[in-house]
C-alpha cells in the first residue's frame, strides 16, 4: 500500500505551525536557454497525487501563459524551489520537474510541455487519463476576482508599459459572476491566459533550523520508495 | 558625481518598513555544471560599493567553502536572487554575477573565483586594491558564536551524517574570546571554512504588490548609469 513520503507530512506540519501562518509562498528557480538562472516567488495552491499513489506527490501552482518563465520551462523542465518557513525556521528545497498546461486558447504556444524522462508522477497521471484542463479550470475558479484581473493585462507580464495611466484603464476585478458584457470578456481573457504549473519533486532537502542541534534530512525518490538520509546541516 | 541606483533606496526603504522586520533572507539561484538549477535561502549582511562608486552596489553574503553551491558558482558565476518582503508585499529580483572568496587555508580549492566579463563593480574594487580577505575576516567577526559553530562541522554541509549522536559532540558555540585550547582550534577551523560571497547585480526587477494598481520597475545597468523601465506587473 503506497503512502505519502514523510516530507509531505513535514511541510504540512510546518504550514500548520501558528508562526508560519500564510507561508504559502516559495521561490522557484528555472534556467533559461542561455544557461542563466532565474528565480521568483510563487504561491503554493495545493498538493495532489495520482489516484492511489500518495507516494508520488505534486505541487500545484500557476502562471500567466505569456510569462517569460514559460519559455524557460519549455527550454528546460528541471526546476528547484526553496520554501522558507520563517516562523519555525524550516527550509524545504524541492528539486524535480515542472510541466505547464496552458489553455487551448492561450496566446502563443498553447501546447502543454512534454512528460520529462523519469517523471513517474506525470506519467502515471497521464496513464490514468487525468483531465489536465479540468484541473486548470478548477484552480482558476478558486482564484479571487483581484487575482483573476492580473491575467487580463493586454500586454505580457514584464513587457514595457507606456504609462501607469494606461494601466489604470485595465480591469482591477474579474468577478466570478459576470454582471456585464465586459466582465464576460475579461473572464474569457483571464482564463485563456491562466496556465496550470505542476511540479514533481524527485529530491527534497529539509533543514530544520528551529531545533538544536539543527537537523537536515535529504529524501530521494528511488523507484516507488523515498530514501531518507540524515546529512550535515 | 556617482549616485546609488534608486533600487538600493527601494530595498532599504522596504527593509525599514515595520512589517518587514528581520526580512534579511533571500533565495539565491545557481546553475550546476549539468544545467540543473539550485536555490537556497541566504542571509543579506550588507550593501557595499567601490570607493566613490555608489552606482556600483554589491550585496554581501557568505557561505561554507565546502558547500555544493561553491562548486556550482565555480562552474557558472551567473546568479539570480529573489527577495520577498512579505510585510510590504515587495519582491526584488536581482540578476548578476557572484564571486566567492575562501580563506587561503580553506579545504579544497582556496582560490577566489575570477572577475566575470562585464562585472564592473568587481573590476573596480580590484583596481582600487580592495582587500578581499580583510573583508572576509570582518564579516566573519560580526557573526554570533552559534553561527560560527556551523562552520566547524568536521564534514561538509550536505554530506551524510552517521548519527545525530555524532553531531552532538560538535561545538555549538565558537566564542569570539576563546577560553580554551579547544575554543582556539574551533575558531581556526570555522574561519578557514568561512567564505565571503559577493553579488554584483546588473538587472533588478522590483514588483510592488502592496500598492494598487501594482507597480513593477526593471532597472538595467548600462555603462555607468541605471536605466529604469516601468513594466506590466
pLDDT at A209 over 70: yes
Written as nine digits, the cell of A207 is: 533543514
Q: Averaged over B63-73, what is the pLDDT? A: 98
- Is there a contact between B86 and A160 if contact means CB atoms under 8 Å apart? no
Over range A172-195, report the average pLDDT.
Answer: 96
Q: State the smallest CA–CA distance between residue A191 and chain B in angstroms.
A: 17
The grid coordinates listed for B231 are 513594466
Query: Would you state the cell numbers that stand for residue A57, as one nine-digit string?
Result: 506527490
Q: Which of residues 134-193 of A touch B (CB under 8 A)?
A: 150, 153, 155-161, 163-164, 167-168, 170, 172
- Reported as a single tens digit per residue, the pLDDT across B96-151 is 999 999 999 999 999 999 999 999 999 999 999 999 999 999 999 999 999 999 99
* Nearest-CB residue to B35 (from A35, A150, A218): A35
Place of cell 574561519: B191
Q: Where are chain B's structural domains?
A: 6-141+195-230
Min CA distance, A166 vs chain B (Å)? 10
Sort out which chain B residues have CB atoms less than 8 A from A230's CB and list them: 160-161, 163-164
| Dihedral angle over CA of B233, A80, B64, A232, nearest 10 | 140
Mean pLDDT, to the nearest integer, of A74-79?
97
Q: Is the ipTM of this complex over 0.90?
A: yes
Dist CA B92 CA B5 (whole Å): 14
Dihedral, CA of residue B68, residue B72, residue B74 and residue B78, to nearest 10: -140
Between CA A142 and CA A134 the distance in angstroms is: 13
If contacts are CB pairs under 8 Å, which of residues 6-65 in chain A contact chain B?
22, 25, 27-31, 35-41
DSSP A161-198: -S-HHHHHTS-S---SS--SHHHHHHHHHHHHHEEEEE
Contact B193, B65 (CB under 8 A): yes
Nearest CA in chain B to A73: B37
CA distance B93 to B174: 34
User: Which of B95, B102, B135 lies closest to B118, judged by CA?
Assistant: B95
Tens digits of residue pLDDT in B147-168: 999 999 999 999 999 888 889 9
Question: CA B74 to CA B195: how far, in whole Å?
Answer: 13
User: Residue B130, Cα to own-chain centre: how many angstroms?
Assistant: 18
What residues 204-223 of chain A have any CB closer than 8 A to a CB of chain B?
205, 212-216, 218
Tell me which chain B residues have a C-beta less than 8 angstroms from the C-beta of A215.
164
Are A232 and B27 in contact (CB < 8 Å)? no
**Confidence class for position A22, pLDDT limits 50, 70, 90:** very high
Nearest CA in chain A to B154: A232
Nearest to A160 among B30, B170, B229 (CB): B229
Average pLDDT, chain B: 96
Please name the residues between 77 and 96 in chain A that touch chain B, using a CB distance below 8 Å.
78-82, 84, 86, 91, 93, 95
CATH code 3.30.565.10 for B6-141+195-230: no
Q: What is the pLDDT of residue B162?
A: 87
Select A6-143+195-230's CATH number: 3.20.20.70, 2.60.120.10, 3.30.1490.190, 2.30.110.10: 2.30.110.10
Percent of chain B exceeding pLDDT 70 equals 100
Of A80, A230, A233, the CB nearest to B39: A80
CB nearest to B232's CB, from A86, A155, A218: A155
Amino acid at each position: 500500500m503506497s503512502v505519502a513520503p514523510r516530507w509531505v507530512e513535514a511541510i504540512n506540519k510546518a504550514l500548520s505551525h501558528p508562526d508560519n501562518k500564510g507561508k504559502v509562498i516559495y521561490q522557484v528557480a528555472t534556467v533559461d536557454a542561455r544557461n542563466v538562472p532565474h528565480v521568483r516567488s510563487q504561491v503554493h495552491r495545493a498538493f495532489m497525487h495520482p489516484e492511489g499513489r500518495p507516494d508520488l506527490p505534486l505541487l500545484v501552482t500557476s502562471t500567466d501563459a505569456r510569462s517569460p518563465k514559460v519559455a524557460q520551462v519549455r527550454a528546460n523542465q528541471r526546476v528547484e524551489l526553496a520554501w522558507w518557513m520563517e516562523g519555525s525556521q524550516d527550509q524545504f528545497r524541492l528539486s524535480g520537474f515542472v510541466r505547464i498546461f496552458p489553455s487551448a486558447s492561450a496566446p502563443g504556444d498553447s501546447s502543454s510541455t512534454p512528460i520529462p524522462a523519469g517523471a513517474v508522477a506525470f506519467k502515471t497521471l497521464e496513464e490514468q487519463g487525468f483531465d489536465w484542463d479540468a484541473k486548470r479550470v478548477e484552480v482558476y475558479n478558486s482564484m479571487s476576482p483581484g487575482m483573476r484581473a492580473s491575467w487580463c493585462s493586454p500586454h505580457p507580464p514584464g513587457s514595457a508599459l507606456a504609462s501607469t495611466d494606461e494601466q489604470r484603464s485595465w480591469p482591477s476585478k474579474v468577478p466570478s459572476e459576470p454582471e456585464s458584457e465586459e466582465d464576460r470578456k475579461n473572464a474569457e481573457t483571464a482564463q485563456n491566459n491562466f496556465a496550470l504549473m505542476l511540479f514533481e519533486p524527485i529530491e527534497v532537502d529539509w533543514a530544520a533550523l528551529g531545533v538544536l542541534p539543527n537537523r537536515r534530512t535529504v529524501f530521494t525518490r528511488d523507484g516507488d520508495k523515498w530514501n531518507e538520509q540524515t546529512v550535515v546541516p
